[in-house]
Amino acid sequence: MEPVEQYRKAVQKLLSDRAERSQRSNSQVEAQTIFDTERDHYQLVYVGWRRNGDRDYGCLIHLDLKDGKIWIQYDGTESGIAQELVDLGVPKEDIVLGFHPPSVRKLTEFAVG
């Protein structure tokens, strides 16, 4: 299987698994996966109401596939999605921490771009 297709499957699995876990922990807030497989944009967003009555809406994770790499555009998780991708077999040189400027990316163990 081509690496880009593997990355699509890995990204969709991670977001789907996380959405399922979130849904079990709070049924009042819907965890929605958004997969644009034509343009390779992937998001996990929350929509609903918290138990205390506050509105919950926002993007938790935003990933893109560009030029054969996984770009982490936003990561609102505590543990970090990059390590989960590595655990699924994605090489660090194919993961870009897009939320950092290029000057900072070159100081990480991940790809610059």
Has residue 25 got a pLDDT over 90? no
- Going by their DSSP bridges, the two strands 69-75 and 95-96 should be labelled as parallel
The reported pTM is 0.91
Q: Quick check: helix, strand or coil at residue 43?
A: strand
Taking residues 29-50, report their average pLDDT: 95
- Nearest Cα neighbor of 90 from 19, 14, 3 is 3
> Which homologous superfamily does the CATH classification assign to the domain defined by 3-105?
XisI-like (3.30.310.110)
Would you give the DSSP letter of residue 93?
G
Taking residues 42-60, report their average pLDDT: 92
- Nearest Cα neighbor of 110 from 90, 94, 89, 88 is 94
Separation CA 48–CA 62 (nearest Å): 19
Taking residues 23-51, report their average pLDDT: 90
